[in-house]
Structure 1
Amino acid sequence: MGKKLTKRSEDYSKWYNELVVKADLADNSGVRGCMVIKPYGYALWEKMQAELDRMFKETGHENAYFPLFIPKSYLSREAAHVEGFAKECAVVTHYRLKNDEDGKGIVVDPDAKLEEELIVRPTSETIIWDTYKKWIQSYRDLPVKVNQWANVVRWEMRTRLFLRTAEFLWQEGHTAHATEQEAIEEAELIMHLYADFAERFMGMPVIKGLKSPSERFAGAVETYCIEALMQDGKALQAGTSHFLGQNFAKAFDVKYASKEGQQEYVWATSWGVSTRLIGGLIMTHSDDNGLVLPPKLAPIQVVIVPIYKGEDQLQAISERVHPLVQELRSKGISVKYDDRDTYKPGWKFNEYELKGVPVRLAVGQRDMENNTFEVARRDTLEKETVNADIVVSHIEKLLEDIQDNIFRKAMAYREEHITRVDSFDEFQEVLESKGGFIAAHWDGTEETEEKIKELTKATIRCIPLKQEKEAGKCVFSGKPSEGRVLFAKAY
């Protein structure tokens, strides 16, 4: 499998970049800032997508698809929205190429200039709300609860695979409601849904909360978020859900006739998670040997490697293994039997360890004689010998235990790295020596928030939903504060 990974303790960033490539998750592409998601990485995204899609549909949402291109004039209708995204937009100005008259290849045809430039979708609020104007006429048309699985483009200068790329995959939900309360409840519902997915499926503990006004989504009245903590002490915004008020309804004149016959503007939400979750998954659980994947999302949950000499032994092992493969699959467990003769067992062990396959079975001649399998778990690297008669039930329990164990481990790390501070000197010392979330009093002003960011590069990650009312003094300004917020350096 080539040289070993850089250790996390030596260079966390280099470790991450190497792991993404060596584990066959993704690769850099010929297009600046864009990535190629390889089959193994895409299989991981498909597992995430399937679970989230099921959860969305169970809560009454339907999938649709809207155009990739957005007329420039649409983006300018909501002032805060355009200001928030203007610097990240890719713009289409022409619709045709032609051969250069000097024979120097292909050039843009100057006669094919668009009457109005098109923005490559950075997010879809504007095109969707222009569409909702056609869909919504009466209270009977509400609520509208639509999600789309799509790609978006946000022009990034500094990119990192999965975490920050010019193009990425995501889902974006857009809902319309008759009342303010319904829209707020929707935004909160999705925040809780995201948190449930992150913790139950990804094994990644998150803190639910609100963004500060300066960190809100462009055009939102309130942004709900889930924040996770990576192994290097940096935070990762894992998902956001926005209460948009009536801003987009007013910008696109989306009204409905109420039961009383009054014309009312609708209330809106939008929400999304992206392939950034794969980066979060990697950095939450993986170790110096490679990926550690939660069984519920692992593309391959169990791999079986034969150890043999000659075709006769391989044939005998295969005959024993195939019924096991079928039984595991009948129980919904994804399993791979790797009988390739082009690689030795040791090489395969290293490969599947690197790729984070939760459970590995090995079977050789001695196992055949003893009716056993060697079973190894990826999270702890422990091995044991298990009788073939009980191996299926053992694997089922093992997958559950691995899922629970990696969550408990990540939770313990998170809890150890939430530090309460009461002075700015203490704030800076903890940030540099320990990292993680810093629970500190804040006076609620954007000025103080910006000054702390300027001096330390730490931002307010969230105002926790479970924030205790605790009168105190702002860690920076000394002004009165009603409670602590969570600061951290972040991806």
Structure 2
Amino acid sequence: MSKALPTRSENYSEWYNELVKRADLAENSAVRGCMVIKPYGYSIWEKMQRALDDMFKETGHTNAYFPLFIPKSYLSKEASHVEGFAKECAVVTHYRLKNDPDGKGVIVDPEAKLEEELIVRPTSETVIWSTYKNWIQSYRDLPLLINQWANVVRWEMRTRLFLRTTEFLWQEGHTAHSTAQEAIAETRQMLEVYAQFAEEWMAVPVIKGVKTPNERFAGAEDTYCIEAMMQDGKALQAGTSHFLGQNFATAFDVKFQDKDGKLDYVWGTSWGVSTRLMGALIMAHSDDAGLVLPPKLAPIQVVIVPIYRNEEQLAQISEKVAEITKDLKKLGISVKYDSSDNFKPGFKFAEYELKGVPVRLAMGGRDLENGTVEVARRDTKTKETVSVEGIAIYIQNLLEDIQQSIYKKALTFREENTYKVDSFEEFNNILDTKGGFILAHWDGTSETEEKIKEETKATIRCIPLNQEAEEGVCIYSGKPSKGRVIFARAY
């Protein structure tokens, strides 16, 4: 083991960066701003992907794949969309290299300039809606419910592994509907899917809300979101679902003939989550000793470490462990038996703690004689000695308890760090001394929102859905307010 991790209280940012690297989740690549997702980290992403993909298919969506490159002219067709992404776009201008005449490797061939530049996909609305024009003619072709798993590129100057990288992985759903009501229902349904995944799989409690006009997706009529609180009190947007209205259908002339023979533009949605969820998972649960993973997303749910004096004893322990492993796997529990002799048990314990394995079993000579095994849970770091009889069911129940306990701990943290304020002075004081979510009145204007952001670096994370109407006055302007919104500093 290398030296201990920085602590969260000393330097939260450094703690996060070091944990991502030391837990073998990801590392910086040779390409500035891009990351290499290592096998252990990618295993977590695969479990996320599998769960989400199943949820998408249960709601009637199918997967497709669209080009990585988007003609520049496509981005010009929806004005607010191109304005929102223009500064983040990577542009392909040439299609060929050639040997440098001076013998210094290769250079871009100046004769190979593209007639029209191509944009490396920052998001796929434009290329997908240009395709939908060919797919949709009649109401019988609707609704069209498509998702794609892909990579995207958004040029970033300041990057952080998983949270903000130039290239990242995500899914993006793009759907077309015959009515506005149906499209809005789809938008809200997918927000519920994201919230369910965050809470039931990631064990991260989220607040569902709608973005202000300043914060909504470029080209959308409305943006819905789920917001999560990290352990440093900052917010992280964990997923978004957009009602696009008829904006992209109009831009790309996507019309359908309704049952009465009338032509109209279709109504659209788009929605997505990315590898940013990995950052949320790490920051919501982990501690100064390493990762704390919810069992549903842990690549290894149970690790078994033998403690032995000689090869004969190891063989006996291994025989017993084989029975336990077989029973656990029958219940769908992923198990690793680490009988390697290159490290001592203490080192292995620390390593699996760092990697967030939810349950660790240790079996020694005395356990073998007594028919017991030591069970340690990662979230509370508690240990107990348990009979090997019925151990598989015991572990199954323990994993379910850990999943729930991690969620409850995160929920309690959020509740304890959410504050109602009624003055700008109190707002600033809490923001600077405590952080967290602040419920405050806002007058509904972009001007006030911008001034608060400029002065405090806090943004309106969302207008919570289904909250009770509450008349009040804006904490900044003193003007009337129809309800409280959630402010926070954010990633």
Give 1:466's aligned residue: 466
Shift in Å at residue 315 of structure 1?
1.0
Q: Equivalent residue for 2:52?
A: 52
Instruction: Return the offset for 1:466.
Output: 2.3
Instruction: Tell whether 2:4 aligns with 1:31.
Output: no
| Alignment-derived partner of residue 457 in structure 1 | 457
Instruction: List runs of 5+ in structure 2 lacking aligned partners.
Output: none
| TM-superposition CA deviations, 1:241-282 (whole Å, max 9, x none) | 000000000000000010000001000000000000010000
SS at match of 2:329: helix
**Which string of whole-angstrom CA distances, capped at 9 and with x for unpartnered residues, describes residues 274-297 of structure 1?**
000010000000000000000011
Deviations 1:205-262 (A, max 9, x none): 0000000000000000000000000000000000000000000000000000100000
In the alignment, the residues of structure 2 paired with residue 370 and residue 291 of structure 1 have an alpha-carbon distance, to the nearest angstrom, of: 32
CA RMSD in angstroms, aligned pairs only? 0.5
Give the structure 1 partner of residue 356 of structure 2. 356
SS in 2 for 1:231: coil
Q: 1:381: which partner in 2?
A: 381
CA distance in structure 2 between the aligned counterparts of 1:147 and 1:307, rounded to whole angstroms: 48
CA distance in 2, matches of 1:436, 1:44: 27
Write the letter of the residue equivalent to 1:191.
Answer: L
TM-score when normalising by structure 2:
1.00
Aligned counterpart, 1:477? 477
Matching residue's letter, 2:355: K
**CA distance in 1 between partners of 2:62 and 2:423 (Å):** 49
Name the residue aligned to 1:223.
223
Shift of 1:390: 2.2
State TM-score, norm by structure 1.
1.00
Q: Deviations over 1:90-129 (max 9, x none)?
A: 0000011000111121100001100000000000000000
Q: Report how far residue 417 of structure 1 moved.
A: 1.0
For residues 100 and 233 of structure 2, the distance between their equivalents in structure 1, rounded to whole angstroms, comes to 53
Q: What residue number does 2:413 align with?
A: 413
Match status 1:102 vs 2:93 = no
- Map 1:326-341 onto structure 2 (within 5 A): 326-341=326-341
> d(CA) in 2 for partners of 1:242 and 1:287?
34
Distance 1:280 1:33 in 2: 19
Gaps of 5+ in 1: none
Q: Give aligned-pair identity as a percent.
A: 74
* Shift of residue 349, structure 1, vs aligned partner: 0.3
Give the paired residue count. 491
In 2, Cα distance between the equivalents of 1:215 and 1:81?
13
Q: What is the Cα deviation at residue 394 of structure 1?
A: 1.1
Partner residue, 2:206 = 206
- Give, in angstroms, the shift of residue 183 of structure 1: 0.1
**Structure 2 equivalent of residue 301 of structure 1:** 301
| Counterpart Cα distance in 2 of 1:435 and 1:53 | 35
Q: 1:419: how far off? A: 0.4
Letter in 2 for 1:269: T
Secondary structure of 2:490's counterpart equals coil
Indicate the SS of the match to 1:214.
coil
Match of 1:164? 164
The AA in structure 1 aligned to 2:477 is: S
C-alpha separation in 1, matches of 2:47 and 2:283: 18
Q: Distance in 1 between matches of 2:361 and 2:367?
A: 11
Q: Whole-Å Cα distance in 1 between the matches of residues 12 and 101 of structure 2?
A: 51
Which residue in 2 is equivalent to 1:185?
185
Match of 2:271 in 1: 271
Deviations for 1:61-89, whole angstroms, at most 9, x for unmatched residues? Answer: 00000000000000110000000000000
Which residue of the partner structure matches residue 447 of structure 2? 447
Q: Which residue number corresponds to residue 324 of structure 1?
A: 324
Letter in structure 2 aligned against 1:182:
E
Which one-letter code corresponds to 2:12 in the other structure? Answer: Y
Please say which of residues 223-232 and 339-348 is displaced more in the overlay: 339-348
Take 2:355 and 2:245, find their aligned partners in 1: how far apart are those partners?
A: 44
Structure 1 residue 166 displacement after superposition: 0.2
CA distance in 2, matches of 1:65, 1:450: 38
Query: What displacement does 1:360 show?
Result: 0.2
Q: Is 2:188 the counterpart of 1:153?
A: no
> CA offset at residue 471 of structure 1?
0.6
What residue in structure 2 maps to residue 438 of structure 1? 438
> What does residue 113 of structure 1 align with?
113
Mapped partners of 1:315, 1:362: distance in 2: 15
- Structure 2 letter corresponding to 1:112: A
Looking at structure 2, the residues matched to 67 and 47 of structure 1 have their Cα atoms a distance apart, in angstroms, of 25
Asked if 1:74 corresponds to 2:74, the answer is: yes
In structure 1, how many angstroms separate the alpha carbons of the residues matched to 2:205 and 2:223? 19
Q: What letter is aligned with 1:95?
A: Y
Q: Distance in 1 between matches of 2:301 and 2:80?
A: 45
What CA deviation, in whole Å up to 9, does each residue of 1:303-332 have, x standing for no partner? 000111221111111111112111111111
The match for 1:312 is: 312
| Structure 1 ranges of 4+ moved more than 3 A | none
Q: After superposition, where does 1:227-306 map in structure 2 within 5 Å?
A: 227-306=227-306
Q: How far did 1:131 drift?
A: 0.3
Q: Once the 2 structures are TM-superposed, how far is the Cα of residue 467 of structure 1 from its aligned partner?
A: 2.0
What is the CA distance between 1:57 and its match in structure 2? 0.1
**Does residue 343 in structure 1 map to residue 343 in structure 2?**
yes
> Which residue does the alignment assign to 2:43?
43
**1:404 corresponds to 2:404:** yes
CA distance in 2, matches of 1:467, 1:384: 44
Q: Secondary structure at the match of 1:43?
A: helix
